[in-house]
Structure 1
Amino acid sequence: MTTHDVDEIVPEIDRVILLEQGRILVDGPKDEGLTRENLSRLYQVDLRVDKNRGWYHLR
């Protein structure tokens, strides 16, 4: 699955790869990759990451 929208990542996905300008920023377990620090760096905005029943949401 490829997406630019974290809200679309279904709970069954257990590994993520985050790319920043064509280079791998993160490659590993979803819980370790989809953190506030990683996603804020990737999107260049201070974000809050919420998790609800396996779904991730950015604020």
Structure 2
Amino acid sequence: MSVSDDDQPIAREEARIALLLLQVAASQAEIGPFARRQRATAQAATRLYRSAQALGGGMRAAG
């Protein structure tokens, strides 16, 4: 599906809005460049996960 010349400004504006909404969502979820410093690395996430497991806060299988 091609975009006509008349629709290009609309498509660009829609793309800008989509990018803005994506940035807002990432900010709210605190992921990517919006992550809190202590959660920004995989190592920090691993430490947090292991601490939660040690405290018995992990998910248990239903059964």
- With normalisation by structure 1, the TM-score equals 0.27
The structure with the greater share of residues assigned to strand is 1
